């Protein structure tokens, strides 16, 4: 009896050890991910935001996911990030959805819409207004999972080598401006040019472009754009709250245990909020340096120009919505949320800002 009990015990122990061993092996499995980005390596705000996301995922997972970041051109060109992650060359990417309008016109709505949602409103739409589900549905066809992973807040209107006094001054203008903002410029008679960040300075310096938008003072100072353009305009009508994205290979994500999947998604949320906080903290000091040290000519777009651009924006965005069912579905949701957010903010955020200025 004792011998049989001993044998049974050994058998049961072996089974339990096997189960425990499997669990232990899973817990100790290391996942090595590559993250490709559209940004220059370690570039303030954007590049460092990608770095922060990688570090956070690694730290939150206790090292079970180790993410190595590759800046633009280190592994793939900046505008090939989407395809690289889609086909599994890299498990993760960091960029902006309006770069992929060639893949899906609807993708642009998840980055920036001229006269659209600001950062606070974009987060509201994505997390609690149905926007995230729409975004996931569109990227699913490309073997990708999207996540909001940064926001610049309201951007600047851009750098110009001539004054913008009327809409006529935009006619014939070659300007680096992506997404729907570029389509609006085209409607106004200008020529939008798509360039990655690393090529902006030399293109403006050589005269290949006449003007450029990038982000705002914090980033524009780092790029030295004040050296190659005279006038710095505001506000950024074209990008009122630009959402940056993490894109994740669907198969790589599915291979993770549930707890690590949750960690990846929540790390994206943390970085999404943290980047906005960083821009809010850094922009004014950088603007002060640009104006007072580098003597940048800071100017506001004339109201007449802004009103006409707003009208053209409405036309362009409505036309994009008619191109396919996905775009129309996203546009309908976006417009509905914008209308309700505006109604609330007219008596909250906007009313407070007016009161604070009295």
Helix %, strand %, coil % for the chain, to 5?
A: 55, 15, 30
> Which residues, other chains included, contact 273 with Cβ-Cβ below 8 Å and sequence gap of 6+?
none
Assess contact for 90 and 84: CB atoms under 8 A.
yes
Domains of the chain are 20-153+241-280 (3.40.190.170), 158-240+282-325 (3.40.190.10)
What pLDDT, on a 0 to 100 scale, did the predictor assign at position 21? 40
For the chain, 358 residues long, give each residue's pLDDT as a single digit of tens. Answer: 444 443 344 444 433 334 344 343 456 799 999 999 999 999 999 999 999 999 999 999 999 999 999 999 999 999 999 999 999 999 999 999 999 999 999 999 999 999 999 999 999 999 999 999 999 999 999 999 999 999 999 999 999 999 999 999 999 999 999 999 999 999 999 999 999 999 999 999 999 999 999 999 999 999 999 999 999 999 999 999 999 999 999 999 999 999 999 999 999 999 999 999 999 999 999 999 999 999 999 999 999 999 999 999 999 999 999 999 999 999 999 999 999 999 999 999 999 999 999 9
pLDDT tens string 20-59: 443 434 567 999 999 999 999 999 999 999 999 999 999 9
For tokens 């050994």, the residue is 10
pTM above 0.85, yes or no: yes
112's CB contacts (< 8 A; 6+ apart) are 96, 98, 179, 180, 181, 238, 239, 240, 241, 242, 243
CA 90 to chain centre: 18
């Amino acid at each position: 009896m004792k011998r049989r009990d001993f044998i049974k015990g050994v058998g049961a122990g072996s089974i339990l050890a096997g189960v425990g061993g499997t669990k232990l092996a899973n817990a100790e499995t290391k996942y090595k991910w590559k993250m490709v980005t559209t940004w220059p390596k370690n570039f303030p705000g954007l590049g460092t935001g990608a770095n922060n996301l990688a570090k956070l995922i690694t730290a939150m997972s206790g090292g079970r996911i180790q993410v190595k970041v590759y800046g633009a051109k280190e592994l793939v060109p900046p505008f090939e990030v989407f395809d690289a992650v889609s086909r599994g060359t890299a498990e993760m990417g960091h960029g902006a959805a309006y770069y992929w309008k060639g893949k899906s016109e609807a993708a642009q709505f998840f980055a920036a819409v001229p006269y659209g949602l600001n950062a606070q409103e974009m987060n509201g739409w994505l997390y609690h207004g149905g926007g995230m589900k729409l975004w996931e549905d569109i990227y699913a066809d490309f073997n990708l999972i999207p996540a909001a992973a940064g926001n610049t807040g309201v951007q600047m209107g851009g750098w110009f080598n001539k004054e913008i006094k009327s809409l006529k001054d935009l006619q014939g203008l070659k300007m680096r401006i992506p997404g729907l903002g570029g389509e609006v410029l085209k409607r106004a008679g200008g020529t939008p040019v798509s360039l990655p960040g690393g090529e902006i300075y030399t293109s403006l310096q050589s005269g290949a472009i006449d003007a450029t938008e990038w982000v705002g003072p914090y980033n524009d100072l780092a790029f030295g754009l004040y050296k190659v353009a005279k006038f710095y305009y505001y506000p950024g009508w074209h990008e009122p709250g630009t959402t940056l994205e993490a894109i994740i290979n669907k198969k790589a994500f599915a291979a993770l245990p549930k707890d690590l999947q949750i960690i990846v998604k929540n790390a994206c949320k943390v970085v999404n909020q943290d980047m906005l906080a960083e821009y809010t903290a850094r922009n004014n000091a950088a603007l002060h340096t640009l104006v007072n040290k580098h003597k940048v000519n800071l100017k506001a777009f004339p109201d007449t120009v802004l009103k006409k651009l707003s009208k053209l924006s409405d036309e362009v965005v409505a036309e994009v919505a008619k191109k396919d069912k996905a775009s129309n579905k996203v546009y309908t949701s976006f417009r509905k949320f914008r209308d309700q957010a505006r109604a609330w903010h007219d008596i909250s955020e906007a009313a407070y800002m007016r009161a604070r200025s009295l």
